[in-house]
Amino acid sequence: MEKVAERFIRYAQQYTTSDPESTTYPSTGRQLDFMRKLVEELTEIGLEEVEMDEYGYVTATIPANGVENSRVVGFIAHVDTSPDFSGENVNPQIITKYDGKPVELKNGVVIDPKDFPEILNYKGQDIITADGTTLLGADDKAGVAEIVTAAEILLKMKSLKHGKIRIAFTPDEEIGKGTDHFDVKKFGADFAYTLDGGEIGELEFENFNAAGAKIKISGRSVHPGAAKNKMVNALLVAHKLVGMLPPTQRPEHTEKYEGFFHLLSLNGNVEKAELQYLIRDHSLEKFEEKKKLLKEVVQLINLEYGKPLVELKLEDQYYNMRQKIEPVMHVIDIAQEAMKLAGVEPKIKAIRGGTDGARLSYDGLPCPNVFAGGHNFHGPYEFVPIPSMVKAVEVILNIVQLVGKHK
C-alpha cells in the first residue's frame, strides 16, 4: 500500500500536461522529461527491453516466469494530464482515515459529500487529493503507478507464475492523440488492458463514437450606424447555429448511453467567428445522425444568407471499441475473474468518453479499460483512495496469473 501511494505521489508532482494547440509529438517536452525518468526506474527495477522511441512511447517487458507459450498480455497507461485545469506544481496530500466530512482545500475548493456523495464510500480509508490549486493527476498517473508497482512485485515474487508481459506508457491521451504513432505489431501483445478507469471495480469495453467539428463563420463588419441590410454579425450567426441543435442533446442534459453535441469553444467578433464542437454517441447509427444534422444546419444557414458564410470541417476521432471486443470476450471474463479474486465487485459500464484502448482495439490490439481508482478527474476536486490503487495492483497480478493458466 505504501509503495503504490508513494510512487503515485512522486509521479503526480511531475508536470506533464499535454497541449492541444501544439504541432509536435508528443505535444509537450515535459512529458518526455517524465518518460525518461520512467525508463530509468523501469531499468532499475529490472524490466527487460526497456526503451523510449522517437515519439516518447515507453515500452518494457516482464519476462515469463514458469509459464511458456501463453498469450502475451499488455498493460497500458498514459502519462499526460488534462489541459482542462492546471497540472503544474501539484501538491498531493493524504487525508488519513477520511471521516466523512467536507474536505476543505485552498482557493475555497471543498470536496463536499453533498456535491460528491461517492466520497462517502471511502469513509475510514486514506485518500489522496491535491491542494485545491491544481488537478491531482490520478488520470492517469494512478494507472502508471499501479502498473509499475505490479511489475516490481512480479519481478521480486518468483512464486507468482505467469507468461510474458508487455507494458507501455503513452503521451497525449488527453488530447486524443495517445496512439497516433503506437506500433501495435512491435508491442507484441495478444491483448491488453488500459489502467485508465475511475472508481474501484470499473470494467469498460464500450465507449463513445467521437467526432470533432471546427466551424468558421465569415460575417460582414459595417459601422453599426449604417448597418441596415449590410451587416452580417458572425457572432449572431454562431448563436443561430447553436440554437438549431437540440438543447436536450448537450452534455449537461445527458447520461448513460445518451450522446451529445458539446460546444467546446466559441470565439470571434462581428467579422469572424469560430466554434468547436465535440459529437459523441455510443450508437453508430445515432452518431451518424448527429453528424448529418450538423451538416444540414450549416447548409440551411448558408441557404438563408444566400452564400457560404459557414464552413464546416468534420473529422471522426475514434469509434466504440465494443464491436472489436465482443469477438474476444474472454479478455473481459479474465478481468472479471481477476477482480473477484481480489474481492472487488466488477462494475461493467460504458465509458462516456474514450481511451487509448478504443483506438488500439481498432488497430488490432483488443484493449478494454480497468479501474485506476480515481474520481472527479480534470479539476481540483479530484481524489483517489489508496486502497483502490492497491486493489488495482492486485487485479493486475491476478490477470497475469489467469492468462498463464489459460493458454
SS3 212: strand
What the block records as the C-alpha cell of 166 is 508487455
Do the strands 347-350 and 73-78 form a parallel or antiparallel pair, or are they unpaired?
A: unpaired
Q: Which cell numbers in the block locate residue 109?
A: 475548493
Percent helix, percent strand, percent coil in the chain, to nearest 5:
35, 25, 40
Cell numbers given for 224? 453599426
Whether 80 is a known active-site residue: answer yes
Q: How far apart are CA 381 and CA 134, in angstroms?
A: 9
Q: What is the largest CA-CA distance in the chain?
A: 84
Annotated catalytic residue 173: yes
By DSSP bridging, strand 209-218 and strand 369-371 are: unpaired
Catalytic residue among 41, 140, 172, 173: 173
Cβ distance 234 to 219 under 8 Å?
yes
Whole-angstrom Cα distance, residue 237 to residue 252? 23
Pairing of strands 93-95, 103-104: unpaired
Q: Which of 41, 80, 174, 206 is catalytic?
A: 80
Cβ-count burial 373-383 (b if 16+ within 10 Å, e if not): bbbbbbebbbb
**Catalytic positions:** 80, 173
